[in-house]
């Protein structure tokens, strides 16, 4: 079992394109690829699934800690020929950087360098990144090689290649590469919107196989010592019959940590899916889980589905367990306002939400002020926040005390109505081993 980390010199260097192309090329060579994404990103992880035909896992050191991250990588890469980890931002950026993750997992780095507007200076950039990582006692980065992106021509690549010393130059992608991932306000388009067709990925794989030394990447990936793959996740709560958790999954709701579902299953849950866009009612289940996504883009259709809105409202009124994050919170509010149009939503909470121009984002630590579906009073959970909307109107109390990753106090939130809990914060259940089992126990209380 080997692996590599795809990192960039900066955000926008092309590491997502290189990562997707590498996964597709490795698959074309007959290898089983297990994808991973550094940090809390849902969208890149979803795109990985299209290229690798495997569920991608988030490796986040701040939310889950090093032990969980190592176990997650080991567990899910164990059945693959190679693990491919897409980094976040620039290689050394952040308190818990891609370089820190690569060192923790003992994986070599493929460095993606945006070559637009430079030639021999690229050698200095690569040398600086290499020496900074090797000499630093914090990182100790090993490099598998360099891939140049946005190269003008073969002669341009020759100048770039000849400027690099002591690190393999693995190849290049041309500036006019016929491959683009659609964007929108939260980033790239989601996998549910099928932004990449099979033909496009196949062409990208062919380009990678033609211009990138894939065999050298495979060789440099090497292998890791096998360690325990047991995640410190859900405690075993399988006393009694399995409970059914209905997950809202469609084009409006698609942002979930797959590990959360795994931990819920291990704690005694059966996961089923439904669509607030297309279905008439919540399916037969014991609890409902609304994740994030793009409800604002589908607000008219969500509002028009009065049967589903009524079903969700009746569910909450009857005191059944329901949990919602970000887009789910927006759906449970009175209305979503977008482009001066107001679309009625479920109406469980007294406030509305409206779209903003700038995002609100960052890591979040929540201390539970009272017992709820995700834990007991005083316990701490971690997650992240990323949205372009805000709450308008009465906030009706808060179940969470919230700080950022540096401990700075933020506006408290986490909203309760009977046995419904909703928040803007996407929680990772790997941040506390008790979370999934407490979720199941709460549902069983009824």
Query: Which residues does the annotation mark as catalytic?
Result: 326
DSSP 264-333: HHHTTEEEEEE-TTT-SS--S-SEEEE-EE-GGGGHHHHHH-HHHHHHHHHHHHTT-EEEEETHHHHHHS
| Distance between CA atoms of residues 182 and 185, nearest Å | 11
Angle of helix 214-221 versus helix 15-28 axis, rounded to 10: 90
Select from 69, 416, 338, 26 the least CA-distant residue to 213. Answer: 26
CA angle, corner 269, sides to 268 and 273, nearest 5?
170
3-state secondary structure of 233: coil
By the 8 A CB rule, do 267 and 104 touch?
no
Select from 391, 119, 139, 105 the least CA-distant residue to 221. Answer: 105
By the 8 A CB rule, do 111 and 145 touch?
yes
| Distance between CA atoms of residues 223 and 107, nearest Å | 9
Residue listed under structure tokens 């995640």: 231
By the 8 A CB rule, do 286 and 407 touch?
no
Residue listed under structure tokens 């996504």: 293
């Amino acid at each position: 079992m080997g692996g590599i980390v795809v990192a960039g010199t900066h955000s926008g260097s092309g590491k997502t394109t290189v990562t997707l192309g590498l996964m597709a090329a490795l698959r074309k060579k007959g290898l089983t690829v297990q994808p991973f994404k550094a940090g809390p990103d849902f969208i890149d992880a979803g795109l990985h699934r299209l290229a690798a035909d495997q569920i991608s896992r988030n490796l986040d050191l701040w939310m889950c800690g090093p032990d969980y991250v190592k176990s997650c990588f080991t567990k899910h890469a164990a059945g693959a020929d190679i693990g491919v980890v897409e980094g976040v931002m620039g290689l050394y950026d952040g308190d818990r950087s891609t370089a820190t993750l690569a060192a923790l997992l003992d994986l070599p780095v493929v460095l993606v360098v945006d070559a637009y507007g430079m030639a021999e200076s690229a050698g200095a950039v690569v040398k600086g990144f290499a020496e900074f990582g090797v000499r630093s006692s914090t990182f100790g980065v090993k490099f598998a090689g360099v891939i140049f992106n946005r190269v003008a021509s073969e002669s341009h690549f020759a100048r770039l290649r000849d400027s690099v010393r002591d690190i393999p130059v693995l190849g290049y992608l041309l500036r006019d590469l016929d491959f683009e991932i659609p964007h929108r306000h939260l980033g790239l388009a989601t996998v549910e919107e099928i932004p990449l067709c099979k033909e496009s990925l196949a062409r990208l794989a062919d380009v990678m196989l033609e211009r990138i030394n894939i065999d050298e990447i495979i060789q440099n990936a090497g292998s890791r010592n096998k360690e325990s793959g047991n995640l410190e996740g859900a405690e075993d709560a399988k006393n009694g019959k399995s409970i059914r958790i209905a997950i809202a999954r469609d084009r409006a709701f698609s942002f979930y940590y797959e590990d959360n579902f795994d931990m819920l299953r291990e704690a005694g849950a059966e996961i089923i899916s439904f669509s607030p866009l297309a279905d008439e009612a919540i399916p037969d289940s014991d609890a409902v889980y609304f994740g994030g996504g793009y409800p604002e883009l589908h607000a008219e259709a969500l509002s028009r589905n009065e049967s589903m809105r009524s079903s969700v409202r009746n569910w909450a009124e009857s005191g059944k367990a329901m949990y919602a994050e970000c887009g789910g919170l927006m759906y449970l509010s009175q209305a979503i306002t977008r482009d001066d149009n107001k679309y009625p939503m479920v109406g469980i909470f007294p406030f509305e939400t409206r779209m903003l121009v700038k995002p609100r984002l960052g890591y979040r630590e929540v201390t539970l002020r009272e017992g709820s579906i995700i834990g007991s009073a005083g316990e701490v959970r971690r997650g992240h926040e990323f949205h372009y909307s805000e709450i308008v109107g009465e906030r009706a109390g808060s179940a969470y005390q919230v700080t950022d990753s540096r401990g700075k106090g933020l506006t408290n939130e986490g909203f309760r109505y009977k046995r419904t809990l909703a928040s803007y914060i996407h929680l990772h259940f790997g941040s506390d081993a008790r979370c999934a089992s407490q979720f199941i126990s709460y549902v069983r209380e009824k």
